[in-house]
Amino acid sequence: MKCGGRTTASRILLLFLYLSVEAFQVCLSDFPRIWKRSPSAPPPGSIVLPLSGNVYPLGYYSVSLKVGRPPKLYDLDIDTGSDLTWLQCDAPCTGCTKPRDQLYKPNNNLVHCKDLLCSAIRTTGNEPCKTPHDQCDYDIEYADHCSSLGVLVNDHFTFPLTNNSILSPRLAFGCGYNQHIPGSISPPPTAGVLGLGNGKTSIMTQLHGLGVIRNVLGHCLSTKGGGFLFFGDHPAPPSKISWVPMFNLEKHYSSGPAELLNNGKPSGVKGLEVIFDSGSSYTYFNSKAYRAILNQLRGDLNGKPLKDATDDKSLPVCWKGAKPFKSIDDAKAYFKPVVLSFTKNVQFQIPPEAYLIVTKHGNACLGILSGTEVGLEDHNVIGDISLQDKIVIYDNEKKQIGWVSANCDHLPKS
């Protein structure tokens, strides 16, 4: 997770999610019901939204969404590694970095404890609601120890559909009035997080539950910055997509087992469960896989004019050339792809431009890190750097994850 720069750890693995009924007491309102389509009627269309951001130097991709009546624009960090969407809240807000006029202001629209979505964020051992009409509070902590505390609210989200109509359902999300950021992490540049995981509180799950969109989403992140996010129908030729089964891992998109290949041959590292997480800037492997990748890359560099750049602290492993690199294109010729092989020999190719960054010092640094060293234990995470220039599809209806190489610089045609 990234509350700030997302340069240390991913947003996967919500460490705790519980209810509190003591703070932020204001008047309550029932969770509104909105129209549901007939089971035989097709969803009205799909949603395609432009993205901003990059892996380096920003460390995140974000989308601007209109929330409220009248609608107000908020920039949200897209995150397939968690499911709860939240905005910095004018409540008053502790740990919020946005000016007050850019904070979300609740207006008698809190979610009751009796609501099913409130039950979805309650975990064993948490203090139960005192009455069904209490407000539904949340407290989430992410893998990098950032956290957000607040209350669930519901409000209108405005989505433009590709058929030129407008969708404006009421959806539940968090109004976060206490954000904690560890001292070494920069404050968040966005107004909050767009949770796209497959848990019950996810925006995607709610849209599908209302019958207004297919339960399919995805993204295309450009190496040049920006890209697009989509809900509903995916904009990729079906015959060219590589598909793998989706594990039933709550709130996350995971697949496996995968085997790490070394220049097309087995590396001896297999059985890897892989989480696809747009909430992580970089890619993380467990210690065994990380060592194998590092050994492979160092072996491939033997005899080439690159040296360790130990004075560059941008990432743990960096290399320098005879002269500073100006772009990835200058550096990638020295490196070979990292390849994950899933069942039925479905391969996820990570070319050099999808695991290297060129820093302000002109060095090439490895954007694959040891997840074990940052507290992810044995989990393996494919982050933004390795998701670039691919349409990545999370098909919750068919329980599969797909990808295909693509130009992410422009929005797909309707």
CATH code of the domain containing 120 = 2.40.70.10
The answer to whether the beta carbons of residues 69 and 155 sit under 8 Å apart is yes
202 plus 291 within the same structural domain: no
Q: Does any domain span residue 122?
A: yes
Just list the catalytic residues. 79, 277
Q: At which residue do the structure tokens 């001896």 appear?
A: 268
57 plus 192 within the same structural domain: yes
Q: Does any domain span residue 88?
A: yes
Query: Cβ neighbours of residue 405 under 8 Å, at least 6 residues apart?
Result: 389, 390
174 plus 323 within the same structural domain: no
Query: Cβ neighbours of residue 163 under 8 Å, at least 6 residues apart?
Result: 44, 45, 414
242 plus 204 within the same structural domain: no
Q: CA 102 → CA 86, 92, 155, 190, 192, distances in Å?
A: 14, 13, 16, 10, 11
276 plus 159 within the same structural domain: no
Helix (H, G, I), strand (E, B) or coil at 94: strand
- 0.85 exceeded by pTM: yes
Query: Cβ neighbours of residue 376 under 8 Å, at least 6 residues apart?
Result: 9, 10, 12, 13, 143, 284, 286
Nearest-angstrom CA–CA distance, 323 and 326 = 9
Q: Does any domain span residue 333?
A: yes
Query: Cβ neighbours of residue 333 under 8 Å, at least 6 residues apart?
Result: none
Exposure string (b/e) for 183-199, b if CB count within 10 Å is 16 or more?
eebeebbbbbbbbbbbb
Nearest-angstrom CA–CA distance, 230 and 215 = 11
Q: Does any domain span residue 23?
A: no
Q: Does any domain span residue 34?
A: no
19, 15, 7: which is closest to 113 by C-alpha? 19
119 plus 204 within the same structural domain: yes
208 plus 322 within the same structural domain: no
Give the count of alpha carbons within 13 A of 144, CB side only.
Answer: 25
DSSP 398: T
Nearest-angstrom CA–CA distance, 74 and 172 = 15
151 plus 198 within the same structural domain: yes
pLDDT tens per residue across all 414 residues of the chain: 455 445 444 444 433 333 333 333 332 233 333 334 444 455 557 999 999 999 999 999 999 999 999 999 999 999 999 999 999 999 888 888 888 888 999 988 999 888 888 877 755 445 567 788 888 988 888 877 788 889 999 999 999 999 889 999 999 999 999 888 776 666 678 999 999 998 889 999 999 999 889 999 999 999 999 999 999 988 888 889 999 999 866 678 999 899 999 988 999 999 999 999 999 999 999 999 999 999 999 999 999 999 999 999 999 999 999 999 999 999 999 999 999 999 999 999 999 999 999 999 999 999 999 999 988 888 999 999 999 999 999 999 999 999 999 999 999 876
The boundaries of the domain holding residue 294 are 238-405
312, 338, 337: which is closest to 325 by C-alpha? 312
Q: Does any domain span residue 362?
A: yes
182 plus 119 within the same structural domain: yes
Nearest-angstrom CA–CA distance, 48 and 39 = 24
Tokens of 192: 């909050």
Residue 354's φ and ψ, nearest 5 degrees, are -105, 10
Output the pLDDT for position 149: 87
Q: Which of 179, 213, 247 is the last residue of a domain?
A: 213
Q: Does any domain span residue 59?
A: yes
Total domains in the chain come to 2
46, 344, 394, 35: which is closest to 220 by C-alpha? 394
75, 114, 91: which is closest to 194 by C-alpha? 75
59 plus 189 within the same structural domain: yes
